[in-house]
Amino acid sequence: MWQVRASVASAVSTVFVCLLAVGIVSAQVPVATAGQTPGFEVTSVTRNKSDAVPSVGFQASGRFVATRASVRELIRIAYGMAGVLEPSRVIGVPGWIDADRFDVVGKTADGAPQPLMLLMLRSLLADRFKLRLHSESRELPIYALVMARNDRRLGPRLRPVADCTPESQGRETAPLPKAATCGGRSALGHVEFGGLPLSMAIERSAVAREVRRVIVDRTGLAGAFEGSLDWTPSELATPDANQPDPFSAPPPSEGASIFTALQEQLGLKLVPSTGEVEVFVIDRIEHPDPD
């Protein structure tokens, strides 16, 4: 799984290992009933007007710590959108949720697992920012991920492997090499993964950040895969200097576009399409009361 952790200072190899669990949590919990979800035992929210580098992360000790984070980023993480940084998926937002920055800390004594802490972050947003939202499906432009070749041959950097679960043992796929991480790394211009389905490895990685659309896996490829991908980010994907993006990294100086790289390296391609996309509509949000 992909871990929700990011920092501009170390984003050249930003590691993600928990968004699969985020998707499961999102599917199971109604977004408009945040009061029913567990909360942190101690919370702190303060306005940050400095030029500090934004960072967001979960700690094994049971702490969620965000430094100079926008409320939009907090919403994206809490509701499983951290891999798809697309403004059209959060609707009805006031301008200050991007412009104003906050230091946010949530603590729980028992070292709760990250999926539970994501629910606690939802409760924090509901309590401190009075956030109320609901989800709905809308027909939006997407990219369909399909096979690039008629013979369905995989690219040189993609191969089937055993997945990250014990029940995968005995399948007729190559095991993960000892050096591979069960999960992946994602930054602008680079993605690597092991033991993940393509729907997880591509849809929730920096590839979605690059193309600015939801990606839907329509390859028909089942099972888990190992792969890596390198490309030169487009100008659209390069972070705005005035609004640092904690989920990005400096782009390489030269190389293939994401569309060319997918075909040449993985044997896949992105086809423009439309589809039902889950969006989040903000019904209410307020500036937090100071600590």
The residue behind tokens 């170390």 is: 10
148 has pLDDT over 50? yes
What pLDDT does 166 receive?
Answer: 47
At 169 the pLDDT is 42
pLDDT at 259: 95
Cβ pair 226, 286 in contact under 8 A: no
CB atoms inside a 10 Å sphere around CB 36: 11
Give the lowest-confidence range in 6-20, 63-77, 252-266, 274-288: 6-20
**Cα–Cα nearest to 69, from 19, 104, 107, 22:** 104
pLDDT given at position 228: 92
Phi, psi of 118, rounded to the nearest 5 degrees: -65, -40
DSSP state, 175?
P
What pLDDT does residue 115 have? 80
User: pLDDT at residue 111 above 80?
Assistant: no
Q: What is the pLDDT of residues 7-54, one digit of tens each?
A: 332 332 333 433 333 333 333 334 444 445 688 999 999 999 999 888
19-33, 109-123, 203-217: range with lowest mean pLDDT: 19-33
CA-based nearest residue to 143, from 208, 88, 234: 208
Who has greater pLDDT, 35 or 67? 67
**Does 222 score more than 60 pLDDT?**
yes
The answer to which of 19-23, 185-189, 248-252, 283-287 has the lowest mean pLDDT is: 19-23
Decide if pLDDT at 100 tops 50.
yes
Q: 88 phi and psi, to 5 degrees?
A: -70, -10
| Of 248, 148, 110, 128, residue with least CA distance to 189 | 248
Let me know: does 56 contact 6? Beta carbons within 8 Å. yes
